[in-house]
Structure 1
Amino acid sequence: MNHNWKPRELNPDEIGTAANAAALAEYLRGIDLAALLTAEKALVMRGFGVAPGELDDVLDALLPDRLAYVHGNSPRTKVGRNVYTSTEYPAALAISMHNEMSYASRWPTRLAFYCETAPGSGGATPVIDGELWLESVGPEIRESFADGVRYLQNLHGGYGLGKSWQQTFETEDRSVVEAFLAESAATWEWRSDGGLRIEQLRPAFVRHPVTGAEVWFNQADQWHPAGLGDETARALTQIMPPEDLPQSATFADGSPIPDEYITKIRDLGLEKAVDVDWHVGDLLLIDNVLVGHGRRPFDGPRRVLVAMSGTDEA
């Protein structure tokens, strides 16, 4: 394992192209992008001046089958053809490291980020090698998560904390939601108040389908009350049992995960990560299994868009 890993940077001088979006898209279509991404784990594309109106063409080269953010748990706004704002979370708070939708039965294999508006300061997207994260948490935590993570999600029907089931699944049709959940091997219950409770048992680690590398791959620290990052969220845990929160996590057998495990996992992820700073027009492409990502706090405006493609499953 390379403990000094960092994303590979592609710029016009290195790849020998003009410094514009069309040249970048043409270059990406002419290489074995899948092999390059698997080898490098993450790619940063800088100096091409990609404007918002040119983004679709570049994303088409990066993401062969752009996906909708169905069953996503973070607040986002859809701004284009399966293009979304990155997580809309208070600027003063960090977003801990995670692999996108690792709590679900299917997850995107690639994520592409695009900087439309650079932050005034801070706001980097940290990325972490999943093998390093798995190694870093230590044998005690790894062994305790060997059977996986049990996720519990409470989605309201229109009014309440967190996201509604309609926002989460991008539909008003309960039968569409039920079909999705049945295929996901989740259990669910429609509540008398119009809400939906979902329970899922998922692995805590997975192996990459090409390299075979075993990586830390779960969102226990983001779903667990001890991982909540602001005073309002923490206050909720004083007045609501974990099973009634918008989301919570336990060990596979339903027993509680110790708070100190959660904070160690979260803090190690942020500590071991490599920051990708943003300039207008930059793009970042990551292998969503090999690499986790997060967000550093920032000042001023910041608008980073995200799109995803490909699905893999437990």
Structure 2
Amino acid sequence: MTSATAWAPLEIEAKEGGGAAELLARVDGLDGGLAAGLVRARALVFRGFGITRETLDPVLDRLLPNRLAYVHGNSPRTKVGSNVYTSTEYPQEYTISMHNEMSYAHAWPTRLAFYCQVQPGGGGATPVLDAELWLQLLDPELRRAFAGGVRYLQNLHNGYGLGKSWQDTFETTERSEVEEFLAAAGAEWDWRRDGSLRVESHRPATTRHPVTGAEVWFNQADQWHPAGLGDDTAAELAAILSEDELPQSVTFADGTPIPAEYVAQIRDRGLDAAVDVDWRAGDLMLIDNVLLAHGRRPFTGDRRVLVAMSD
């Protein structure tokens, strides 16, 4: 964490033996209710309540009253319950940089809940970051460059290839359902002769929180850019694919390239300013997905964190 902020999530410890009933009672006791309490705190971390996979659903029903499917999600996950998913299945030795969930989409979840089913052997914290601070930490030159927004490009295969298939991405095998979704999202798309799907979407680089009005950094340019893959991975992909053929990529809104040094600045300043939330089995964290970005630190041993989302 940098000296730029002393913010940390609000941690709520069990007092009466824990369990789902006590956790929900503590939620009910928040000043102004859950919605106001979450906006005020940005993140709520519940510890010592001993939530299990069997008692998780009634807790999520209260915290996330309208659980969302991960439709148009770009990261690899496994669905393990009623709109409950594994957190991003990315090799454990790598860091996942800061991001607001689905900030590349036309609509995104407003809340995320993370539940630790299996404690990491070592490391594996979930860093969280004030997205308003993130914007402030970026150089004025970079912020001006992104003022027009960004253009995301996806190449989604038809069942075999790099990245995700369009069927997995949209959780359907019906082209008509995909087209209906993309039309509503204001995206452009093209079905290719091999059955793959190309999608282009123009999105802003920042947004404002609907309650506080705070302007926040709100895009995934650094994660969609080849420079964000690391030199070795980017070089391997460049040897077999042009940038236009990558599973996902990003440019400025007018199609001009985003400099690699901008990508590094966005990624590094976000990670440096983040606050790590360490996990114990049974812990649960609820975050405001606009006010806070999140990521993942590398870990050893086993780690199983589940995630659910709500509008």
SS at match of 2:269: helix
Give, in whole Å, the separation in 1 of the partners of 2:129 and 2:305.
19
SS at match of 1:5: coil
Give, in whole Å, the separation in 2 of the partners of 1:243 and 1:39.
42
Give, in whole Å, the separation in 2 of the partners of 1:205 and 1:288.
13
Opposite residue 21 of structure 2, the aligned amino acid is: A
Structure 2 residue 168 is the aligned partner of structure 1 residue 162: no
SS at match of 2:254: coil
Calculate the aligned-residue CA RMSD, in Å.
Answer: 1.4
TM alignment of 1:111-150, pairs within 5 A: 111-150=112-151
TM-score (norm 2): 0.96
Question: Match for 1:9 among 5, 8, 11?
Answer: 11
TM-fit CA distance, 1:234: 4.1
Deviation larger for 2-11 or 264-273: 2-11
TM-fit CA distance, 1:22: 1.8
SS at match of 2:40: helix
Opposite residue 308 of structure 2, the aligned amino acid is: A
Could you tell me which residue of structure 2 aligns to residue 236 of structure 1? Answer: 237
1:25 and 1:234, CA in 2 relative to 1: closer, same or farther beyond 3 A?
farther
Structure 2 portions without partners, runs of 5+: none
1:34 and 1:173, CA in 2 relative to 1: closer, same or farther beyond 3 A?
same
Could you tell me which residue of structure 1 aligns to residue 280 of structure 2? Answer: 279
TM-fit CA distance, 1:19: 1.7
Give, in whole Å, the separation in 2 of the partners of 1:12 and 1:257.
47
Structure 2 residue 218 is the aligned partner of structure 1 residue 189: no
TM-fit CA distance, 1:20: 1.6
Percent of aligned positions that are identical: 67
Opposite residue 11 of structure 1, the aligned amino acid is: E
Does the Cα contact within 8 Å between 2:227 and 2:234 map onto a contact in 1? no
SS at match of 2:257: coil
Could you tell me which residue of structure 2 aligns to residue 301 of structure 1? Answer: 302
1:234 and 1:117, CA in 2 relative to 1: closer, same or farther beyond 3 A?
farther
TM-score (norm 1): 0.95
Opposite residue 244 of structure 2, the aligned amino acid is: E
Structure 1 portions without partners, runs of 5+: none
Could you tell me which residue of structure 2 aligns to residue 19 of structure 1? Answer: 18
TM-fit CA distance, 1:250: 0.3
Give, in whole Å, the separation in 1 of the partners of 2:85 and 2:310.
13
TM-fit CA distance, 1:122: 0.4
TM alignment of 1:172-251, pairs within 5 A: 172-229=173-230, 231-251=232-252
TM-fit CA distance, 1:114: 0.1
Runs of 4+ more than 4 Å apart: none
SS at match of 1:108: coil
TM-fit CA distance, 1:37: 0.4
TM-fit CA distance, 1:30: 5.2
Once the two structures are superposed, residues 268-308 of structure 1 have per-residue CA deviations (whole angstroms, 9 ceiling, x without a partner) of 11111000000000011110000000000000000000000
SS at match of 2:294: strand
TM-fit CA distance, 1:25: 2.0
Opposite residue 89 of structure 1, the aligned amino acid is: Y
Could you tell me which residue of structure 2 aligns to residue 100 of structure 1? Answer: 101
The alignment of Structure 1 onto Structure 2 pairs a total of residues equal to 307
Give, in whole Å, the separation in 2 of the partners of 1:152 and 1:123.
30
Once the two structures are superposed, residues 78-101 of structure 1 have per-residue CA deviations (whole angstroms, 9 ceiling, x without a partner) of 000000000000000000000000
Give, in whole Å, the separation in 2 of the partners of 1:250 and 1:224.
8
Opposite residue 113 of structure 2, the aligned amino acid is: A
SS at match of 1:154: strand
Does the Cα contact within 8 Å between 1:99 and 1:291 map onto a contact in 2? yes
